Structure formats: C-alpha cells, structure tokens
Structure 1
C-alpha cells in the first residue's frame, strides 16, 4: 500500500499472516508449494461463504495482487520508463490503492478487489489477469499517454483502423505520397482479410479473449498471396511484416498526438516577462519574413498588447471550461464528489495544503483518494488543450493584420508551434509548483488565475 506521502509502505496484517501460516503449514517445506497451488487453495476458501476464514483468504489474495501490481509497474518502468520519462513510483498511485482492510468499503472499491472480483480461474492465472488489468487501467493509461506511451499492440492498432482512414493519417499527418498511401491501404486491407477475420472468428467462438499476438507465418504467407494477386510487385513474408509494423508505428504516433495534442515545440516570446517578444521570434517582412518588422515599435507594441490580452482571456476561459466539464461529469455520479472537487482545488492551489491535510478536511480516506478526485495532471492537460484551441484561432486572426495573405498559411503552422511552447511553459510552471507546493512561497500564474476563478464561483 501507499502511505500518506504517496510512498510505498509494507504493512504486515497479523491476522492474515497467522491464517496463511496455519493453512499451509503442512506444505511449506514440500516441492508442491507453488504460487498456483497457493492461489487455488485460497480461492477455494474465499469462495466458500460458509467458511469463517473466507475473508482472511480473500485478504491473502489481495496482498498477492498488490505485490503483483507493483511488479507490473516495475516492468513498465524497465520497458519504457527511461525513454518516456517515468518511474514505477509515478505509476503506483493509480493502481496500488488497497487499504489492507478485511471488509470492503461501502464508498470505494480498490483496484485489487476489482481485479479479484473479475478473475476467472479457468481462463487465466491470477498473475496474468492482474498484469492485464493493470495495463488496462484507464487513469494509468491516461498518464502514460501524457508521457507519450500508448499501451496497445501493433496488431490491435491495425485491427481497428480502416484502410480509408490512412489517406488522412498518412497523408496529412505524416506527409506520405499518394503512392505510399495506396500501398499501405492495400496492405492493411489484405491484413484485415486474413488476420482480423481470423481474430473475429476466434472471438465469436469464444476461443480467444487474449491480446493480439504477432501474425503467424501462415497468415503472413496468405497476406503475401493476396498482394501478389493484386499487383505485379513481389513481396516476401519479412517485407510484409516490416511494412505492417511501419504502418502501425505511423498510426501509434497519430493516436498519441490526437489524445494528448502532442504538437511539435518551438520557442515563443521568450516569456512575456522579458524584453524579447513574439515578433522577434519571427523574421521581419522586409527580409522574406512572415510578420512586420520589429523596428516598427508602435505596431510591435500594438500586437503584443492585443496578444497578451487574448492569452489572459483564453487562459481564464479554459480554466472555467475545464472546471465546468469536470463538475458536470462528477455531478452525474455523485453531487458530493463535485463539491469536494471544487473545495479540493481551492485548498491545494489557493491555501496550498498537502494532499494528506486535504483528505482530512474532505473526510477522505487518504491522500491517494484526493489525488484520484483532483486528477491534477489530467486537469492541467485539459486546460492546456483548451488554451491552445481557443488562442490559436484568435492569434491567427490577429496576425492577419500584420502579414500578407500569401504568407498566412505558413504563418498558421508557425503560430501553432510557438503558442504550444508558451503554453507548455505555463503548465510546466504549475507542474513544478504542484510537486512541492508547501515549499513554494510564490504562486504560479496558473494558480493565480485559477484561484481568481474559484473565488468568483
């Protein structure tokens, strides 16, 4: 379990320890004492409602699941953490939330209990099921997406992409040629006829509910035969496999982009607080540049004044929009949770209380419950996207006054990149503040505007 500071803490549950030792006393020193054997016996005891020890058996299973959850997070860190910038400690708060109690809480079911409740022993092992459920956890996957990691196999991505969609994704997003797009569409269509069709048949017959595996040699050969029948070109199993993986990588990049608005970053306005300006980042018009020359101080100042006003308005509107959307979503589930969300935001950003103290004031179990309620990283990501959408259109309209129509198309792309950079700075400042909010005397610009909006509600 996690303690009040969000750190992993090993808690020994005396009753469960005694029960486990007594139950398996005769097997501990034998060769038959395996994980599978233990799990099977504990499941039998747990499912026997007439047994006085069924809750202790369940608690032992939940402890095993919690340990396995930690191992999955370690595995994700080892596989992807270095490249995507996260550790297992960043993942644990999303999925390791078991409080160690024997009885289920009336208000909240931890993830370990969800895993156990949905486990079917005749279809998989508890280890496999736990790993799968952790990797399917919605909030964990949202966080991983923010890190640029999309936990879906190449073959699943190819399965749920229509060949018609490739024109936009490969053409507009990846700038492939028409010929390359047609070739990719033909390959994906052949893949669907063989691999996806077989997958559908297996699911219809309840033969497979596991994740998509790599195509077999036989399936790849059948795909090759379809392609050769439709084209004069020659294909090999290896070239088809490599091409399918290439298409999947293109699709993966696009999906990450769509889900977290991962736009390319270029420098913007080197900060409004400094003397360098938005216009200084873009070359002057008298030297084949997009906007007006910064030598014209009056026009430069006019542009910056309008830009700063628009940025402030868009930030305020984005904060209102995201808070309203989150409130409506929570109100559909629990009106009290919606009220707690608003109070929690105010306590954290404005009164700068720790998650532990907020939990006490809101009557929540611990700080992990506050983290799940506020979802600050997701909140900031939503605000960031709202600002970009609102500000981009306004700044492009504003920039038309300072650029010729023939250069506007190129200008739009550059403005998007530049705005993205500045918005990232605002959000990054808020992220740094949130990591050590009690030790930061200065309030971030993000928190200043948010507290003003919360004060007006």
Structure 2
C-alpha cells in the first residue's frame, strides 16, 4: 500500500524523515482525489490511476491550456518521485559506500535539488522546463529540476513502460552527476565496448573459437580507429555502421562461417562482453574456471546457464532447484570474489595514477600489499621498503580498509547480477522485479556475503598490528598478490 501523503509531502535536504508538507499540493490533491485522502493508503492499481491522471494534467492533455493546473499536478508528482530518488541514493550508498566510504546523504545534493517553491511546467514539445511567475506568466527555467526531468521523460502512455517509481529509481541511478561522484572515488562501470577494446589474450583464450575470431575482428577495426582518433581516453562509443560492415567483411574473408548480420554482430559482441565482466581477473591470473558457468545453445547461438533439473513444479524438484541454486551461488561467490579483488586493486592503482600527491607510488602499491598481506609487515615497517617518509603515506596509498570495502562492493555487484540470472533459470523468480523486491534481494545477499566472507575480514582488519591474515578474503588476496610477483 502506498501512503497518499507522498503526493504532497516533498523529501528535501532539510526534511528527509517526514518530508515537507506543501499546502498547494495537498489542497490540489484533495480537490482532485478526495477518496484517496479519505483512504490514506492506496493500492497499486489506485496509485497507478492517480499518477497517470496527474501526468495527463501535467503534460497538458487534460488541463485544457490551464498552466496553473499543469503546475499543480506537476508539484504533486514532484513530491511523489522524491521518495524513489532517496531510495535509489540509499541503495547506491549501500553498494558503493560500504565500510563508511561515504553516506547516502552525500549523494542527495546531486539529485534532490527541488525545494517545492517553483511552479514548474514543460513546453508543449516536452523538451524544456518552464516556470510560472505569480501572475501566471511563463518564463524559461534558469536551471533544470531533476524531479521535473524525471516527469518530462516519463512515457506514461506507453503500454510497456516502467512504473513511475521504477522510472524515477532508474533515472536516479543513471544520473550523470551521481556517476561523476562515484567515478571520482574509483567506482566506474566500463561499457561493453570498453571491455571488449581492452580484452587481452589471456581472457580471449577462455572464449569459444568463433567468439575469439569475432573479438579479433573487432580489435582489428575498432582498436585501429580508436588509435587514429585525435583525443585519447574518451568514451568508447558504439561501433558505426561502417565499422560493423568492415567487421562483417573480415569475417567472410576469414573462411570461417559465422552467419551474423551487422545487428547480429552487435548482439554477439555484447554477449561476449558479459562474459568478460566475469573474467576480468584472468587478465592478471590467466587461470580459467574448471567449468564454464554459461554455455552456448547450439541451435540459437545464445549464451545461457547450463541445463539443470526439469523445471516442472513439484515439491521435490523445487527443493532440488533451490539446493542447486545455493550450490551455484557458493560456486559463483568464489569466482566473483577473485574478480572483485582484481577489480578493486585495479581501481585503486588507477586512482593513485591520477593523484597529484601519490602518483609516484602507484607502481609500488602491489609490492606494498604483498609486504602487508603476504609477509605480515606492519605499515611502519613498510615505509622504508617503499621509499616513503612516514607511515601516513603507507596508509593513504595502500588504504586496506578502503580496499576491503571496494572488494565487498564488487562482490555484491557481481553476485547480484548472478542471482538475478539464477532466479529465472531455476524457476525462483515469482516476484516482479520492483525496487522493493531488489532491495530485499540485495539485503539478503549482503547478509550472505558478510557471513561467508566479510565479517571475518572486517574483524581481522580491526585487530591492529597484531592481526593475522587468515580470513577467506585475506587468503584470496594473498593468492592474487603472489600471482602478480
């Protein structure tokens, strides 16, 4: 059930707990939906009908040219979407800010910029924000409110659309300013094309022959053109039609029959990129899994999880599926943890390379972690070995607590992706993937990885100079560091 007050109580930076009640929004909502006020709480269908009605008013479909009506309907909706905005920030902080790296409140100023004072509308094309002054005159908005952008881009008339909650939630997680904040702290997602572009031989060796050939063709065309670009280090854009055509020609010239049209090439490359996300650790280790977790369907050429028990719904088979699910989750944890360690170390070294004060120590970080975790030296003992002048430098460069937090985040991220795949494959995906369901899945997954790995690791970290590194996290980190010698 959804509380009706979400349509007139706006979550603001200065009112996060109960929200700030907006009399204009409350009065308007009460006049339009008196029954909802009386009920206090709304069912999902009632709530959908209400926000669709408000969206029709806000977009001018039912307002009949009354701009005040549009603005008041929009104000109610701005209150409504402030809640999924805050929820998304909480989840991002839970994923990225583990171990106290940052608090969700640090994310809010980027997206919770609406104080409810302005009367906002959008132009008839739905592209620009506008404002109403006290006399009802329209003027161009000097800045864009994120809440209004969410409403402006929400296709409420589409039959295949997300709910308004899910749309606001998704837009918040994709907000450029939030991504910039996270990128400054080393948390970056590489695009599929960036992953493919930087793929190395050790990773490609794990792919089937046709996929290796396809990535080789991609490198021949895409890498060549990237090197010819005047600016290096920019975003890896989608392959152009000309590049795709050249790749297709090279595939035909190879003498290997790979029946892929241009769009088929894109689809297959994206599938390979998905595999490479799981294999990133092998760029350092070069050690393949004993058995791939995914296989190619010989009829369709699509990647999918390997076949398991017959999914007919009987209690015994359901238990078998659940047991197989848990077994696979434990198996995946080992792989994801190794990958998370490699990724977190790579993130940390990249951050050091960009640091004005510590870039000179970037190439010594691996040695520092080896001395700390493999040889058991204290940070004080490491100072001279790394050519530093004090223990504070060692702490800031190696930053073992931050490294642990990043590994935890990467592990949670990898297993969350896995569990969303597994729940469908094993017939355990009865609930629709709403933000609430995702939050429950994430909460359960956090408890799982903490119990299996990170509780012991954090306890170990707090032991001070007398600590011994015996946790699963420490053992896997030691293995990785030894492989880097």
Normalising by the smaller structure, the TM-score range is: 0.3 to 0.5
Bigger strand share: 2
Normalised TM-score (structure 1): 0.42
Bigger helix share: 1
Q: Work out which of the two has the higher radius of gyration on C-alpha atoms and give 1 or 2.
A: 1
Normalised TM-score (structure 2): 0.40
